[in-house]
């Protein structure tokens, strides 16, 4: 959505309208998922659906939802909010003959 459209909608609807981008938007969507309610809806769909494809899809989703519920994990935890960085002491530079230095391949990631 263009920025001008976002500004127009914010001006018209104020705090009711919210627009996010990228991982922040996905994080908010995942954070708002109520796993208990979703599990109830999926169980209902599995029991009452006559369409085999819909039923199969609901069963797959239900397995995932139940696994998340049993493990105590939350859907939004799949998105990193903090980036772990290994301290320099654990990725040292080694001096080679001739005064050159070699670094761990891990340093190339930083």
pLDDT of residue 35: 97
Q: Residue 106 — pLDDT band, cuts 50, 70, 90?
A: low
Q: Annotate the chain with three-state secondary structure.
A: CCHHHHHHHHHHHHHHCCCCCHHHHHHHHHHCCCHHHHHHHHHHHHHHCCCHHHHHHHHHHHHHHHHHHHHCCCHHHHCCCCCCCCCHHHCCEEECHHHCEEECHHHHHC
Q: Residue 103 — pLDDT band, cuts 50, 70, 90?
A: confident
Tell me: pLDDT of 13 over 70: yes
pTM of the predicted model, to two decimals?
A: 0.65
pLDDT in tens, 14-29: 888 888 889 999 999 9
Per domain, the residue ranges of the chain are: 21-109
């Amino acid at each position: 959505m263009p920025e001008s459209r976002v500004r127009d909608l914010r001006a018209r609807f104020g705090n009711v309208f919210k627009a996010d981008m990228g991982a922040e938007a996905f994080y908010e969507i995942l954070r708002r998922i109520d796993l208990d309610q979703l599990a109830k809806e999926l169980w209902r769909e599995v029991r009452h659906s006559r369409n085999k494809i819909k039923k199969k899809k609901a069963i797959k989703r239900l397995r995932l939802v139940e696994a998340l519920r049993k493990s105590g994990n939350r859907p939004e935890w799949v998105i990193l909010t903090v980036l772990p960085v290994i301290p320099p002491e654990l990725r040292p530079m080694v001096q080679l003959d001739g005064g050159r230095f070699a670094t761990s391949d891990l340093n190339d990631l930083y």
